[in-house]
Structure 1
């Protein structure tokens, strides 16, 4: 489905914007890039700013006319910062646009078309689109960089695709830490009690403080690795306490 979604850049002036657009595409799983009469391409600045998406640039096609870029598409959505009087269906929200684009992309190619950095798409180019979409922004400063606009619409498309049952998308989550067994937790609590007693922190057995600390660690639900780290700390404290006691006894014998 995503392979049927095409990004078309019309007469891009800065080659760096092409590289950044390719990077925005790749992060959202898009790979079909078509360039209509770019001012300068290929270019080292485009490759530099692609930052790992050079494969998208390598696969990009360069054509002379917008009609060549969208001839096989069943839906062509022009990104425009301003509304025009042309009688085209207009998406006020990018997510609504993405839903229809993904629906059409199940069977056939579709295109999202972006114009020049300063002037956008011309009226003639808009007429070659089937729909328009705008990105809602601050009415006092609604200016987006070309690659930013590509990123926003590519994200919405990827979001709509993720919600499709056929996408089989899997979110990346950290591996679940293995919890300790009850026996391991019991050994830790016993070790903690010994250290608290030998350090003089507790002066009475079964003190409320001991119960509160055990409850604290139970509520924290440390993993096996974390519990092992805590027991290592307790062992180091035990060794330090034993060394201090031995030094005290040695000093006492010397005084005698």
Structure 2
């Protein structure tokens, strides 16, 4: 579904903005970048500012006209900082736009179109769109950099996609950030109990201290990394305790 969402940049002046836009796209799972008559491309600055999204820059498709870039799309949304005289349907809220865009992207290609850095899209280019969208911003200073605008709308599209029941989206956590297993927790509590008894912190056989600490760590829900840190702390304490 995300592969059907196309980002189109029209006559980009600064090649670095192409790389920055590619980076914004990749963080949101988008991969299809189309460039309409960029001033300078390929360019080392585009690759440099991609910062990990060089593959999107290398695979970017360059075309001669916006009409060519959107010819197979069923919905084309032009990003505009201001309303034009053309009576196109207009999304005042990017999240509403994104939900509709993703709905169409489930079956057919769609596009988000971004204009030139200085003056955006022309009326003729907006006429090739099916919809417009604006990004709400400070009325006294609503100017967004090209890549920032791409990031905002790409985020909305990604959010609309991941909230769909059929997206199958599951955030991937590094192993050390995941919750510890019951066995790992049991080893930790056993280690903690040994240190408390050997240090003399617990002197009464029926004290409730251990139960309270079990409850405390259950509320805290330490990750595997944090549990490993705590066990390292206990091991450090143990080295200073007298041997039995």
Structure 1 length normalisation: TM-score? 0.82
SS in 2 for 1:129: coil
> How far apart are 1:84 and its partner, in Å?
1.7
Is the CA contact (8 Å cut-off) linking 2:74 and 2:109 kept in structure 1? yes
SS in 1 for 2:112: strand
> How far apart are 1:190 and its partner, in Å?
4.5
Is the CA contact (8 Å cut-off) linking 1:192 and 1:234 kept in structure 2? no
Change beyond 3 A, Cα 1:4–1:183: closer
Distance in 1 (alpha carbons) for counterparts of 2:61 and 2:230: 56
Change beyond 3 A, Cα 1:14–1:192: same
Residue number in structure 1 paired with 2:134: 134
> How far apart are 1:194 and its partner, in Å?
2.9
> How far apart are 1:29 and its partner, in Å?
1.2
Comparing 99-108 and 177-186, the one that deviates more:
177-186
Structure 2 length normalisation: TM-score? 0.86
Q: What are the Cα deviations for residues 133-176 of structure 1, in whole angstroms up to 9, with x where unaligned?
A: 00001111111000000011011111111122222111123322
Change beyond 3 A, Cα 1:187–1:100: closer
Summarize the alignment of residues 37-48 of structure 1 with structure 2, pairs less than 5 Å apart.
Answer: 37-48=37-48
Distance in 1 (alpha carbons) for counterparts of 2:39 and 2:101: 29
Larger-Rg structure:
1
> How far apart are 1:184 and its partner, in Å?
6.4
> How far apart are 1:216 and its partner, in Å?
3.7
Residue number in structure 2 paired with 1:19: 19
* Matched length: 233
Is the CA contact (8 Å cut-off) linking 1:75 and 1:110 kept in structure 2? yes
Query: Within the alignment, does 1:194 sit opposite 2:198 as a pair?
Result: yes
Residue number in structure 1 paired with 2:160: 160
Is the CA contact (8 Å cut-off) linking 1:74 and 1:110 kept in structure 2? yes
- Structure 2: which 5+ runs fail to align? none
Change beyond 3 A, Cα 1:123–1:175: same
SS in 2 for 1:167: coil
Residue number in structure 1 paired with 2:204: 206
- Structure 1: which 5+ runs fail to align? 243-256
Residue number in structure 1 paired with 2:181: 178
> How far apart are 1:206 and its partner, in Å?
2.8
Is the CA contact (8 Å cut-off) linking 2:90 and 2:131 kept in structure 1? yes
Change beyond 3 A, Cα 1:214–1:163: closer
Summarize the alignment of residues 44-55 of structure 1 with structure 2, pairs less than 5 Å apart.
Answer: 44-55=44-55
Q: What are the Cα deviations for residues 215-240 of structure 1, in whole angstroms up to 9, with x where unaligned?
A: 3465124776456434423321214x
> How far apart are 1:187 and its partner, in Å?
5.9
Query: Within the alignment, does 1:229 sit opposite 2:232 as a pair?
Result: yes
Aligned-CA RMSD value: 2.5
Is the CA contact (8 Å cut-off) linking 2:193 and 2:210 kept in structure 1? no
Q: What are the Cα deviations for residues 112-138 of structure 1, in whole angstroms up to 9, with x where unaligned?
A: 100000100111111111000000011
Change beyond 3 A, Cα 1:227–1:61: closer
Summarize the alignment of residues 232-243 of structure 1 with structure 2, pairs less than 5 Å apart.
Answer: 232-239=235-242
Residue number in structure 2 paired with 1:219: 216
Residue number in structure 1 paired with 2:90: 90
Residue number in structure 1 paired with 2:120: 120
